[in-house]
A and B are shown apart, each in its own frame.
Chain A
Amino acid sequence: MNWFKYSSPQTFFPLAGKLALWFGVLAAIACTAGLYLGFFVAPTDAQQGEAYRIIFIHVPAAWMSMFLYLVMAFWAGLGLAFNTRLSGMMASAIAPTGALFTFIALWTGSLWGKPTWGTWWVWDARLTSELILLFLYFGFLALQAAIDDPRRADKAGAVLALVGVVNIPIIYFSVKWWNTLHQGASVSLTKAPTMAATMLTGMAVMAFGFWFYSIAASLMRARCIMLERERASDWAADYARGSA
């Protein structure tokens, strides 16, 4: 099978449509199952009561936020290295979903922090680096939005995403050391060492649900970007006529 067949927008567009549909269905199933496990099957936590149940959204969202930045940087780097058209489109299609999950992780984290720690926000190393990750996503989106020429936008965004990837470990460790210098461990994010098996399963299923959702949403967005950029081509015109 020739993988390069799908490196052109014309052939990838229908495939992305099918994939987005299937991953969307899988995401709906996994999220329903995961939320059911999380809210009805998993036992109440001995220390945190019911409040801990936000973990089923919070932790998978935080995982996705970091993972999606890496995926975005991967596509961006690929586009920069091989000058492929689709890679840049994929990178810009992933960025809003990544920013969304980063925001969800921060938001649910603060909702979780209020009942358990008694505060909406602490300058903990993980919270701070997640916040900076959100800023990095915003920077990427803002840069792409400011450039009119899509090819230049892709390349400039790629350089920024790669510089960001190099910076993320540095940011994480600097924030971690800064935090240990400044305040004692009044609040610790480390959870109880053992976790009920159902909790872990629920979290894993939710993580898969978010993962499939990210794929579906990114592909849908990539389809829009393809149509927009290839509007002068015949296939895009045919598609637009067919669906109108």
Chain B
Amino acid sequence: MLAALRCVIRRDLLLAARRSSDVLTVLLFFVIVVSLFPLGVGPDAGLLRTIAPGVIWVAALLASMLALQRMFASDHADGTLEQMLLGATPLGMTVAAKVFAHWVISGLPLVLISPVLALQFDFPQEFLGVLALSLALGTPVLSLIGAIGAALTLGLRGGGALLSLLVLPLYVPVLIIGAGAAEAAVSGLGGHAQLLLLGALLVFAVAFAPWAAAVALRISTE
């Protein structure tokens, strides 16, 4: 079974590497959205420092959502998904592997570039690590919850806008706790509580979300 999972992950990463523009589009979207905020609210350094974690987190949410639609769509279009549904590997595991690959493609780049963007907001350097760590723990949760929404809206008209309506309310806890981590660190409270909560959410989502997404996939393709 592990060989099958490795195969799924390798395949998705290879496909993404062959079409690297898809990966770059999401990353650029993230960078542009974050850069728009100073233009919107003004260049006051104090204000920017305060809103930096929130802005970066909201942009990460939107970028992750933008990438979601592609999680199952191409596999659905060329019939690969049906083979996966029929395959001997438990569908939940296959979905977990696909989500992992999706996170490496769409979530990890955001985590890596977030410190640079935070510097644009004059965010204190000693807390960049907390911000990146919160994103590293939070973006997989976004991918996992998003997988349920992506599976439910598979092949529906108006998929993108519908997907955001389904998934964004479910993202709220991750946003609150994730953005709270860096803010708590800056205010001197230390972000440990929030990071632990994010870890708990991640464990919870890893355990249940692939299973729910698998159920949703079966419903969407029957």
Q: Interface of A with B (CB < 8 Å)?
A: 80, 132, 135-136, 138-139, 142-143, 146-147, 152, 155-156, 159-160, 162-164, 166-167, 170-171, 174-175, 177-178, 181
Known: A138-B165, A156-B220, A181-B180. A163 touches B148 (CB 8 A): yes
Which of B162, B165, B173 is the one whose CB lies under 8 Å from A170? B173
Question: Nearest chain-A residue to B189 (Cβ)?
Answer: A181
The count of A-to-B residue pairs whose CB atoms sit within 8 angstroms is 74
Shortest beta-carbon distance, B80 to chain A, in Å? 21
Shortest beta-carbon distance, B57 to chain A, in Å? 12
Contact at A135–B168, with CB atoms within 8 Å? yes
Proximity string of chain B (184-202) to chain A, C-beta cutoff 8 Å, 1 when within and 0 when not: 1000000000000100010
Which residues from chain A contact B173 at a C-beta distance below 8 Å? 167, 170-171, 174
Contact at A166–B208, with CB atoms within 8 Å? yes
Shortest beta-carbon distance, B190 to chain A, in Å? 12
Shortest beta-carbon distance, B209 to chain A, in Å? 8
Question: Nearest chain-A residue to B148 (Cβ)?
Answer: A163
Which residues from chain A contact B145 at a C-beta distance below 8 Å? 163
Known: A143-B162, A152-B222, A174-B177. A132 touches B148 (CB 8 A): no
Known: A146-B153, A181-B180. A171 touches B172 (CB 8 A): yes
Contact at A156–B219, with CB atoms within 8 Å? yes
Counting CB contacts under 8 A, is B39 at the interface? no
Known: A142-B162, A143-B153, A156-B219. A167 touches B170 (CB 8 A): yes
Which residues from chain A contact B152 at a C-beta distance below 8 Å? 143, 156, 159-160
Known: A143-B153, A159-B216. A175 touches B148 (CB 8 A): no
